[in-house]
Structure 1
């Protein structure tokens, strides 16, 4: 029987269990999860937060993380500045990044979600407004959401992965996990 763990990865935590090569210690999954033989299905950057799935089933891991299977991943994205219709249209049709065109994203503006406070907090500038988007992609290139929002002129300030396929964070606090 395979295991599947939903984990709310905090900001500044690596999506791996060890960090032996770093000269300075950094937080890893082993600081939160003590379950043998489970591995992340995909990655979530150190400066991103939210849902990370871990499993001991290689086939399930591939279905979740391999872009060929097009598993939708939904993010709550705080962007610098307020979007315009052209920016959203570009994200919806796909943008061309240095590593090629992205698949079209589903994107909509949302009110600021009721999330946990982030440590350290996102920088605040009185002269530059920010907005929130809900963005869903079906691939997972390195820092893709951040690169997409920067491409349309709205750098990402905070990125929280909320859902992967049918699994979502729901009521998991940062650093908490549960097995499903």
Structure 2
């Protein structure tokens, strides 16, 4: 059996436990010894981060060959029309090549709390929310894709990785689940009681 920890990483926190520049780290919100992040989430992004002490499971989750889809809620500047969303669905050409097709749809304002500090919003410029699901993980890919269609990302929240979802976790909160087969993401036990941020 393996344990996996689902953490809602806050904005402006590193996806690691130490930092020599004094920035916020995971050590401030989760104190389980011997665990490491399976993949990463940018300093200026929020949302789901998976952690475990099982090296094989870390590899399974983070290895691009396993294609764990990742879903994001993205607040963007402007109001992209279907033509722009279709471009994301087909794949767009970035500096490092053509992206794989993404799932993309508009969202009604999702039930997320305010960000601290709040987004920088230009006066008179509307914002909107998208849900994007990617099957690859290039550096800052979501931000580059939305910029490519003329709608820069203002806020980025990862809400799912494969079968795991952020549901019910506020920033800095986490919960754990037991996996009965360490190398499979399908054999899961009901999550343990949520542990709140210290």
Is the TM-score greater than 0.5? yes
Corresponding residue of 1:126: 123
Indicate if the aligned counterparts of 1:74 and 1:162 stay in contact, CA closer than 8 A: yes
Structure 1 stretches (4+) deviating beyond 3 angstroms? none
Query: Does 2:92 match 1:95?
Result: yes
- For residues 104-128 of structure 1, the C-alpha deviation after alignment (integer angstroms, 9 at most, x for no partner) is 0000001010101110011233311
Corresponding residue of 2:13: 13
Structure 1, unaligned runs of 5 or more: none
Please give the alpha-carbon distance, in whole angstroms, between the structure 1 residues aligned to 2:16 and 2:103.
29
Normalising by structure 2, we get a TM-score of 0.87
Indicate if the aligned counterparts of 1:18 and 1:30 stay in contact, CA closer than 8 A: yes
Secondary structure in 1 aligned to 2:57? helix
CA shift for structure 1 position 59: 1.7
The equivalent position to 1:82 in structure 2, one of 79, 84, 88, is 79
CA shift for structure 1 position 56: 1.1
Please give the alpha-carbon distance, in whole angstroms, between the structure 2 residues aligned to 1:59 and 1:112.
38
CA RMSD in angstroms, aligned pairs only:
0.9
After superposition, residues 156-171 of structure 1 pair within 5 angstroms as: 156-171=153-168
Please give the alpha-carbon distance, in whole angstroms, between the structure 2 residues aligned to 1:148 and 1:67.
19
Matched length: 177
Structure 2, unaligned runs of 5 or more: 178-198
Corresponding residue of 1:115: 112
